[in-house]
Amino acid sequence: MTTPPAPVPSRVLVLNSGSSSVKYQLLDMGDGARLAVGLVERIGERTSRLVHTPGDGGEPRERTEPIADHEAALKAVAEELAADGLGLDSPELAAIGHRVVHGGLKFTAPTVVDDEVLAEIERLVPVAPLHNPANVVGIRTARALRPDLPQVAVFDTAFHTTMPESAARYAIDVETADAHRIRRYGFHGTSHAYVSRETAKLLGKDPAEVNVIVLHLGNGASASAVAGGRCVDTSMGLTPLEGLVMGTRSGDVDPAVTFHLKRVAGMSTDEIDVLLNKKSGLVGLCGDNDMREIRRRIDEGDERARLAFEIYVHRLKKYIGAYYAVLGRVDAVAFTAGVGENAAFVREAAIAGLEELGLVVDGELNAERSSRARIVSPVYARVAVAVVPTDEELEIARQTFDLVSANSLA
Closest to ligand AMP by CB, 290 or 348: 290
Residue 278 binding ligand AMP, by CB under 6 A = no
369 three-state secondary structure: coil
Euclidean distance between CA atoms 95 and 408, whole angstroms: 12
Closest to ligand AMP by CB, 168 or 387: 387
Kindly list the strands in the beta sheet with 151-155, ordered across the sheet, starting from the edge strand earlier in the chain: 61-64, 49-54, 34-41, 22-28, 11-17, 93-100, 151-155, 111-112
Specify the DSSP element, H or E, that contains 117: helix 115-123
Burial class of 275 by CB neighbour count within 10 A (0 to 12, 13 to 18, 19+): middle
User: What φ, ψ does residue 302 adopt, rounded to 5°?
Assistant: -75, 115
Burial class of 44 by CB neighbour count within 10 A (0 to 12, 13 to 18, 19+): middle
Euclidean distance between CA atoms 294 and 300, whole angstroms: 10
Stretch that binds ligand AMP, among 25-33, 164-172, 201-209, 286-294 (CB under 6 A): 286-294
Strands 151-155 and 93-100: parallel
CA 328 to each of CA 13, 211, 350: distance values in angstroms, whole numbers, following the listed order: 40, 9, 19
Closest to ligand AMP by CB, 110 or 247: 247
Burial class of 232 by CB neighbour count within 10 A (0 to 12, 13 to 18, 19+): buried
Q: How far is the CB of 186 from ligand AMP (least distance, A)?
A: 17
Which residues is 14 bridged to in the sheet?
A: 25, 97
Euclidean distance between CA atoms 58 and 118, whole angstroms: 35
Q: How far is the CB of 389 from ligand AMP (least distance, A)?
A: 10
Q: How far is the CB of 297 from ligand AMP (least distance, A)?
A: 13
Long-range contacts of 177-183 (CB under 8 A, 24+ apart): 181/104, 181/105, 181/127, 182/238, 183/105, 183/238
Residue 289 binding ligand AMP, by CB under 6 A = yes
Stretch that binds ligand AMP, among 131-139, 225-233, 284-292, 350-358 (CB under 6 A): 284-292
Burial class of 256 by CB neighbour count within 10 A (0 to 12, 13 to 18, 19+): exposed
Q: How far is the CB of 282 from ligand AMP (least distance, A)?
A: 8
Residue 351 binding ligand AMP, by CB under 6 A = no
Q: Which of 84, 156, 290, 391 is catalytic?
A: 156
Judge contact between 67 and 77, C-beta under 8 A: no
Closest to ligand AMP by CB, 59 or 364: 364
Stretch that binds ligand AMP, among 56-64, 262-270, 324-332, 334-342 (CB under 6 A): 334-342
Question: How many residues bind ligand AMP, per CB under 6 A?
Answer: 12
Euclidean distance between CA atoms 346 and 11, whole angstroms: 37
Please identify which residue in 343, 349, 386, 394 interacts with ligand AMP, judged by CB under 6 A.
343
Euclidean distance between CA atoms 96 and 74, whole angstroms: 12
Residue 342 binding ligand AMP, by CB under 6 A = yes
Residue 338 binding ligand AMP, by CB under 6 A = yes
Q: Return the number of other C-beta atoms located less than 10 Å from residue 133's C-beta.
A: 15
Residue 339 binding ligand AMP, by CB under 6 A = yes
Report how far apart the first and last C-alpha atoms of the chain are (Å, whole number). Answer: 33
Residue 291 binding ligand AMP, by CB under 6 A = yes
Q: What residue number has its CB nearest to ligand AMP?
A: 338
- 288 noted as active-site residue: no
Closest to ligand AMP by CB, 34 or 249: 249
Closest to ligand AMP by CB, 157 or 222: 222
Closest to ligand AMP by CB, 170 or 345: 345
Stretch that binds ligand AMP, among 79-87, 144-152, 339-347, 370-378 (CB under 6 A): 339-347
Closest to ligand AMP by CB, 26 or 245: 245
Q: How far is the CB of 218 from ligand AMP (least distance, A)?
A: 2
Q: How far is the CB of 319 from ligand AMP (least distance, A)?
A: 17
Q: How far is the CB of 318 from ligand AMP (least distance, A)?
A: 20
Specify the DSSP element, H or E, that contains 409: helix 392-409
Judge contact between 122 and 136, C-beta under 8 A: yes
Please identify which residue in 290, 302, 348, 362 interacts with ligand AMP, judged by CB under 6 A.
290
- The residues in 163-222 that bind ligand AMP, with binding defined as CB under 6 A, are 218-219
Stretch that binds ligand AMP, among 125-133, 269-277, 296-304, 337-345 (CB under 6 A): 337-345
- The residues in 219-248 that bind ligand AMP, with binding defined as CB under 6 A, are 219, 247
> Catalytic amino acids?
156
Residues that bind ligand AMP (CB under 6 A): 218-219, 247, 289-292, 337-339, 342-343
